[in-house]
Amino acid sequence: MRIKDLKDAPLWLKNAGVVDEDVETVNGVVIWKDGIWKDGIWEGGVWKDGIWEGGVWKGGIWEGGIWKDGVWKVGMWKGGVWKDGAWKDGWKKIGQCKWPVHYSKTSIRIGCLEKTPQEWDEWFDSDEEIETKRGTEEFRKIQKAYKLAKYAMQLETEE
């Protein structure tokens, strides 16, 4: 559906520079299915597919498509092709384990729990269990993914 045909399109979406868009809203959430985003500020929703040529991403979930250029401020990147642009902040996925492990500039999220690296270090040094038993292969995978995320954060702050 075209943006102009949406009854409940937010103003930021109406003001965007787009071409051949296929978009809908579900319970007030913008779902971008396909098309080309030329310019504007994306303020939330789910990007399923399409081409991002420019503009500012200020939140939401990127599930697929091609990012050609623009500024990524914050959000969750799940998949797609990054060609160029400025990555300012946001969650990046890392590791293979039972729970998705994401990291940003300041924290690490394992499953739905978010902590600073220091808080995670303290938790891993404790005897507390959340859902996965300590000493199991799955727990070792989670801890390994955490260490990868922590190391990636350190590397990115050196750049």
Going from N- to C-terminal start, the domains of the chain cover: 3-87, 92-158
> Do the beta carbons of residue 108 and residue 146 sit within 8 Å?
yes
Q: What angle do CA 62, 68, 69 make, to 5 degrees?
A: 95
- The residues, ordered by sequence, that sit 6+ positions from 97 with a Cβ below 8 Å of its Cβ are 138, 141, 142, 144, 145
pLDDT band at 149 (very low <50, low <70, confident <90, very high): very high
Instruction: Find, among 81, 67, 72, 142, the residue nearest to 105 by Cα.
Output: 72
Average pLDDT over residues 1-22: 94
> Do the beta carbons of residue 44 and residue 62 sit within 8 Å?
no
Q: Residue 81 and residue 23: Cα distance in Å, rounded?
A: 20
> Do the beta carbons of residue 102 and residue 156 sit within 8 Å?
no
pLDDT band at 10 (very low <50, low <70, confident <90, very high): very high
111-142 pLDDT, tens digit per residue, is 889 999 999 999 999 999 999 999 999 999 99
* pLDDT (0 to 100) of residue 129: 95
44-100 pLDDT, tens digit per residue, is 888 988 888 888 888 888 888 888 888 877 777 777 777 767 666 667 777 778 888
Q: Please provide the average confidence, as pLDDT, over all residues in the chain.
A: 88
Q: Residue 66 and residue 51: Cα distance in Å, rounded?
A: 5
Average pLDDT over residues 30-52: 90
